[in-house]
Structure 1
Amino acid sequence: MEEVDRILIHSLRTCGTEVPEEVQSVRQFNTELIVEAVVRCLRVINPSLGANLSHTLPPGMSARFRIGTSLAQACQDLGYSGEIGYQTFLYSSEPDIRALLIFLAEKLPRDSQEDAHQPAGKSAVLQRDIASEIKRQLSVLWVPPSCRTLTLQRAQSSFRLHRFHSHSLSMAGDPSVKSVPVERKEYWVKYLPCINVQLPHVPSLAASLLERNTSELSAVQEWEAEWKSQGLASRLSSEDYRSRKRQRLQKRIQDQLRQSSQLAENQTPSSSSQDLLEMLRAFNVEGGIDHKKGSRFTHAQKFTHQQDPERLQEQMQRAAENFPKKDTQDVDAEHQELSSLQQQIDVLEKEIQELSESTKLLQLTLTQATREVTEHRQHCGEKENAVRLKKRAVELLPDADNNLVKLQALVDASSLRMANLVGQWETHRTRLQEDYRELTQAHQEREDESSRWMKEAKDLYDKIRGAADEAKRKEELYKQLVSEYESLPREVSRAAYTQRILEIVSNIKKQKEEITKILSDTKDLQKEINNLTGKVDRTFVVTDELVFKDAKKDEPVRKAYKYLAALHENCSQLIQTIEDTGTILREIRDLEEQIETETAKKTLSNLQKILEDYKAIKQENTLLMGRVSEP
């Protein structure tokens, strides 16, 4: 029972019961500890049953009886079939309490249930620490600000509270991925600042990390939803679908840039902006920038997209090295010249802007005029067709009869040709309809097959996802078990446990061998007894017949026959006495076991407790009667 009690105590401690370290057996449980253990187990098994039960016993005896009755009813509601009542908790016995605790321990949520509804791994440890910290803080009483100590000021003041304000973070990716460029990896390793340095305020670190994690999770969920809805329907792999989507996006960006570039190139500057273009070319000769004719937006856009920042920096350094050092007067003269050039540039920019606005207005006017010209040309074309038709009709009027005969002949020939074509079309249409039906049926079969394959693919994807989740859950469970194993005390080595297990197994094996030997000896002894009994009975029957024949003729033989009958009767009584003695010995052993069981139930101590509780109840009743009788 020691191993069973240790397992029970460990289970009770995991439920939150504060079992002292010196308690190593159920025999050492007192009433308060029993009530606390049962209430904690009920709260874990069924919170609705244990929510209204207190794990501490009140001082009043009537309240204790009510708590004991409530606990007994709750255990019966869970399905406990043993005998239970308030006396089980207030006047406990070791076998009853052990049976009840074993029942509650078996009802506790085990591996699969806990793992299915609770997180595992580091998250479980974190949540457990958070829950313990919240429980500890809730157990501390609230104290007014003027009466708080330094510890309470840190725990109960609100000076550490901050608003939820997040910032964008730049985080390094996985450097083991081969598709990542070397420059980006070098940037991650050497130049990317830490996360806490990227933020203007340190308290916003948690909010920023939560926001980034949420965005990454939402992106993953959006990708999964898109893959289920569109990716599977495209019948492509995930990599091909991603590459095709990336190509479509790049093509759209290129089309937009090409259209913008064409619109910008179509807007050519006037002759008044040629000086500015020549001056910009002169300033950017070493940079290698070729400014074509176009608007200021076009030049700025091409300059922004075509010029590499590193190359621009190198060119600026090279230009700075090529320029010789000048004195202060030359520098002032250059500054004045630059200021005058800047003023000229501003004036030219204003003129360019005015000209671009006038160009836009003229472009709109030209577009409207082009549209009107197109409409007039269409109207003129329609009138020309009507005039041409009327002209041909007028030419046919002088020879109307002949023309009517010719027209009738053409109509008849057209009717015959039409009837022939209708016959050919019917033949062709019948064949086409048959082909259409066959193709429709084949298409429907392919659609059904595609739908079936699609459904199987979705089912397979769900199974894969379920298997991945199960693998992830088991991996987290494995990590949690490893962490718990590492946190276990190392006082006793594994070899000692193994040696102990082997000793227990060997003892069990020896006991089995002894029990088998005893059973075989008992069977042999019973068989020998049966053989001897049968032999005695047969011998007596034969002897009785022989002696009885001679007893009729001889008097001494008659006395011998009487002695033989008396001997047989005495032997039977002796055997019966021996059997009764064995039965009495077995009953004595059973009574001794019952005495030990009753002794373990602590009947005398429980009777003494009942007398004390009875006296306490009488005193409470006396006090209550006195309060009632008072005016």
Structure 2
Amino acid sequence: MEEVDKILIHALRQVGTEVAEEVDSLKQFSSELIVEAVVRCVRVIESGLGGALPTSLPPGMSARFRVGMSLAQACQDVGYKGEIGYQTFLYSNEPEIRSLLMFLVEKLPRERAEASDQSAGKSAVLQRAIAAALRAQLAASWVPPNCRLPLHWETQSQGALHSLHVQPLSFPLCSKASDRKHLKDVKDYHRDVLPPVTAQTSGHASTAASILERHASELSAAQEWDNEWKSQGLLSRLTPQEYCSRKLTRLRKRIEEQLRSAAAPSSESAFAVSRSTSELSELLQTFRGSAPSNHVLTKGSHFTHTQKFSFTQETAAAAALSPVLAGRHSEGDVQLRQEEELASLQQQFQQLCSDVDQLTADMKHLNVTNAQVLDELKQRELGNAEDDEKMQVKKKTVDLLPDAENNLLKLQSLVEGGAKRVVNLAAQWEKHRAPLIDEYRRLKEICSNKDLESNRKLSEIKSLHEKIRVSTEEAKKKEETHKQLVTELESLPKDVSRSAYTQRILEIVSNIKKQKEEITKILSDTKELQKEINNLTGKLDRTFAVTDELVFKDAKKDESVRKSYKYLAALHENCNQLIQTIEDTGTILREIRDLEEQIETENGNKTVSNLERILDDYKAIRQENSALAAKIREG
């Protein structure tokens, strides 16, 4: 068990349990250390269960019982099938703790198990402790600052909260320009002019968000390009540069077409625009005629504007002098006139609005009518073109009527000549058609073969890309593992030689082999003894049966033989009793050995010390209950 305990202690140190160097057996584990080891293992196996469990026992006995019950429930949720309760942690015994820790170590993730087989360095232990703390903080639910309890002070920061603001950043990227002077200018700009990333943002709170947003956008762009190249780029059978240039050319052509179509309207739309413009001008003229001449808004010259300005100044001066000249009018009459004028102006404004709405509706109706008229005009123009063609055919037919017989003969000769020419051309086409069809079929077969070959190569290229990606990921993982192993190797003590560990392993293996050989020898001896016992028992039964038969025959005739038969039966019965007694003795000896082993097991379970601890805890609980009752009575 010593080797098993050392392996378990090594694995517990790997998951972050602080086990002292002098501890080399589970007998030396205290209740606090057992609780810490179980909590660390549960957190690694399932962070959701172990995030809320404490790594140390509280001082109060009732709180200790609650922690023990929660730990037992967490172990059962992980999958432990053995008997477990709060007593497993508070009043532990060595076999139960060993079986529990062996189960938890076996349930650790594979990466953690592989890491536990290796020696632990200080950097690796620190990294694992940091990872465990981060997992515990991420597993805990976030609570607003105003609602936080002292329990959350350690896991959640009390600093000021900042909203994430993203700002554009400029990074000094590597350029592949062929012009060395241009490349030198870019490098000079990046070195002398471009500010650092922390100075490009308005505040330090938005720096991390901006960097993450920039990284996410670059990563998404790279993934989109990878997907587009694998789905469309490979099918185009072009290089990435050619594919990008062709895509850019298509985009430019599309933009030029859109701009050209937007800048150069068709003749029909121009006609409609001119018509609508003329109708609008007529409508404005009508509106201008219906309105008074002094209310029409016209675009005058500078002289006109000067006259109007001077006239308005004179009018304003007269209006300013009018109250002095007409001082006899009362303020009530002036206000009444203003209200009447305002009402008339509002009525005129409403009338103008209704006229504008009516004119807008008339304009829409006229536009619809105009479109219908244009469509009808197009249809009539098409009908006129068809009528012109028919008229030309009829005209030619009428011109040929005076000399109908000669024209019919000419027409028949032309039709016969055309038919002969068609037959001749069909014969010539048949001569050329057969080799062309054969060539077409051959080329089509070649093209289909090439397509199949290209599709096969394309699938191979995709599979190679996938293998390259998987190999790259594996190479990265192996590089990280190699770096970690190198750091752990450097942190290992140099005075310990590998040969000592190898010699120890070989000794353990040789001891196991010897034990196996001894067990095999004992089993073989037991089988031989059992076989010999079975043979002797069978031989004894057969001998007794034969002797019984012979003596029984003679016992009917001779009295002395009859006595010997009785003695033979008594001897056989005594022998059976003796054999049964020997078997019962062996059974009793085995039971004695089992009881001795149980006694040793119970002695190892520390029953007496656990009972003493239970009594002490019972007294502590009674004291706590009495103290609480006193507080309740005082309250």
Task: Give the TM-score normalised by the residue count of structure 1.
Answer: 0.57
For residues 196 and 44 of structure 1, what CA distance do their matches in structure 2 show? 46
Flag the 1:558–1:447 CA change in 2: closer, same or farther, 3 A: closer
Q: Which residue of 2 aligns with 1:64?
A: 64
Q: Which residue of 1 aligns with 2:495?
A: 491
Q: Which residue of 1 aligns with 2:597?
A: 593
For residues 125 and 599 of structure 1, what CA distance do their matches in structure 2 show? 37
Alignment of 1:373-384 (within 5 A): none
Shift of 1:586: 0.6
CA contact (8 A) 1:35 1:57 kept: yes
Q: Which residue of 1 aligns with 2:538?
A: 534
Indicate which of 501, 505, 512 corresponds to 2:505: 501
Q: Which residue of 2 aligns with 1:53?
A: 53
Q: Which residue of 2 aligns with 1:235?
A: 237
Q: Which residue of 1 aligns with 2:280?
A: none
Cα distance per residue 1:29-57 (max 9 Å; x no partner):
11111112111221211111112222222
Q: Which residue of 2 aligns with 1:518?
A: 522
CA contact (8 A) 1:88 1:96 kept: yes
For residues 127 and 565 of structure 1, what CA distance do their matches in structure 2 show? 84
Flag the 1:453–1:66 CA change in 2: closer, same or farther, 3 A: same
Q: Which residue of 2 aligns with 1:582?
A: 586
Q: Which residue of 1 aligns with 2:153?
A: none
Shift of 1:225: 4.9
For residues 548 and 526 of structure 2, what CA distance do their matches in structure 1 show? 32
Q: Which residue of 1 aligns with 2:626?
A: 622
Cα distance per residue 1:126-161 (max 9 Å; x no partner):
9769769999x9xxxxxxxxxxxxxxxxxx999xxx
Shift of 1:472: 3.3
For residues 56 and 503 of structure 1, what CA distance do their matches in structure 2 show? 39
For residues 46 and 548 of structure 1, what CA distance do their matches in structure 2 show? 80
Shift of 1:232: 2.0
SS at match of 1:535: helix
CA contact (8 A) 1:169 1:198 kept: no
Shift of 1:15: 1.8
Shift of 1:81: 0.8
Flag the 1:196–1:506 CA change in 2: closer, same or farther, 3 A: farther
Alignment of 1:32-51 (within 5 A): 32-51=32-51
Task: Kindly indicate whether residue 22 of structure 2 is the aligned counterpart of residue 18 of structure 1.
Answer: no
Cα distance per residue 1:190-245 (max 9 Å; x no partner):
xx99x999987798899999999999978976774564255422436xxxx36868
CA contact (8 A) 2:14 2:125 kept: no
Shift of 1:580: 0.8
Alignment of 1:540-559 (within 5 A): 540-559=544-563
Shift of 1:581: 0.7
Which letter does structure 2 place at the counterpart of 1:536?
L
Which letter does structure 2 place at the counterpart of 1:580?
D
For residues 62 and 434 of structure 1, what CA distance do their matches in structure 2 show? 97
For residues 131 and 534 of structure 1, what CA distance do their matches in structure 2 show? 71
For residues 424 and 125 of structure 1, what CA distance do their matches in structure 2 show? 96
SS at match of 1:52: coil
For residues 65 and 132 of structure 2, what CA distance do their matches in structure 1 show? 32
For residues 401 and 577 of structure 1, what CA distance do their matches in structure 2 show? 148
Q: Which residue of 2 aligns with 1:561?
A: 565
Flag the 1:106–1:608 CA change in 2: closer, same or farther, 3 A: same
For residues 436 and 522 of structure 1, what CA distance do their matches in structure 2 show? 90
For residues 589 and 243 of structure 1, what CA distance do their matches in structure 2 show? 85
For residues 192 and 125 of structure 2, what CA distance do their matches in structure 1 show? 29
Shift of 1:546: 3.7
Shift of 1:125: 9.8
For residues 130 and 198 of structure 2, what CA distance do their matches in structure 1 show? 19
CA contact (8 A) 1:167 1:204 kept: no
Cα distance per residue 1:367-392 (max 9 Å; x no partner):
xxxxxxxxxxxxxxxxxxxxxxxxxx
For residues 202 and 449 of structure 1, what CA distance do their matches in structure 2 show? 51
For residues 614 and 442 of structure 2, what CA distance do their matches in structure 1 show? 94
Flag the 1:591–1:125 CA change in 2: closer, same or farther, 3 A: closer
For residues 420 and 90 of structure 2, what CA distance do their matches in structure 1 show? 112
Q: Which residue of 1 aligns with 2:110?
A: 110
For residues 131 and 73 of structure 2, what CA distance do their matches in structure 1 show? 30
Q: Which residue of 2 aligns with 1:473?
A: 477
CA contact (8 A) 1:31 1:89 kept: yes
SS at match of 2:517: helix
Flag the 1:407–1:29 CA change in 2: closer, same or farther, 3 A: farther
For residues 501 and 234 of structure 2, what CA distance do their matches in structure 1 show? 55
CA contact (8 A) 1:169 1:212 kept: no
Which letter does structure 1 place at the counterpart of 2:509?
V
CA contact (8 A) 1:164 1:204 kept: no
Which letter does structure 2 place at the counterpart of 1:465?
R
Flag the 1:172–1:508 CA change in 2: closer, same or farther, 3 A: farther
Cα distance per residue 1:479-511 (max 9 Å; x no partner):
433433343333331111221222222222222
Flag the 1:413–1:101 CA change in 2: closer, same or farther, 3 A: farther
Task: Kindly indicate whether residue 631 of structure 2 is the aligned counterpart of residue 609 of structure 1.
Answer: no
Shift of 1:473: 2.4
Flag the 1:128–1:221 CA change in 2: closer, same or farther, 3 A: farther
Task: Give the TM-score normalised by the residue count of structure 2.
Answer: 0.56
Query: Over aligned residues, Cα RMSD in angstroms?
Result: 5.2
Flag the 1:214–1:27 CA change in 2: closer, same or farther, 3 A: same
For residues 467 and 83 of structure 2, what CA distance do their matches in structure 1 show? 48
CA contact (8 A) 2:41 2:108 kept: yes
Identity of counterpart residues, as a percentage?
61
Q: Which residue of 1 aligns with 2:77?
A: 77
For residues 22 and 69 of structure 1, what CA distance do their matches in structure 2 show? 30
Which letter does structure 1 place at the counterpart of 2:237?
R
Flag the 1:12–1:417 CA change in 2: closer, same or farther, 3 A: farther
Larger mean Cα displacement after TM superposition, 419-428 or 198-207: 198-207
Flag the 1:410–1:21 CA change in 2: closer, same or farther, 3 A: farther
Larger mean Cα displacement after TM superposition, 411-420 or 565-574: 411-420
Give the total of aligned pairs: 444
Cα distance per residue 1:335-369 (max 9 Å; x no partner):
xxxxxxxxxxxxxxxxxxxxxxxxxxxxxxxxxxx
Task: Kindly indicate whether residue 460 of structure 2 is the aligned counterpart of residue 461 of structure 1.
Answer: no
Flag the 1:504–1:413 CA change in 2: closer, same or farther, 3 A: same
Flag the 1:134–1:547 CA change in 2: closer, same or farther, 3 A: closer
Flag the 1:93–1:512 CA change in 2: closer, same or farther, 3 A: same
For residues 165 and 39 of structure 1, what CA distance do their matches in structure 2 show? 45
Shift of 1:573: 1.5
For residues 234 and 17 of structure 1, what CA distance do their matches in structure 2 show? 59
Cα distance per residue 1:452-472 (max 9 Å; x no partner):
543443233223322332233
CA contact (8 A) 1:62 1:617 kept: yes
Which letter does structure 1 place at the counterpart of 2:572?
H
For residues 579 and 89 of structure 2, what CA distance do their matches in structure 1 show? 50
For residues 66 and 610 of structure 1, what CA distance do their matches in structure 2 show? 16
Flag the 1:592–1:418 CA change in 2: closer, same or farther, 3 A: farther
SS at match of 1:233: helix
Shift of 1:85: 1.4
Flag the 1:418–1:502 CA change in 2: closer, same or farther, 3 A: same
SS at match of 2:235: coil
For residues 59 and 422 of structure 2, what CA distance do their matches in structure 1 show? 110
SS at match of 1:106: helix
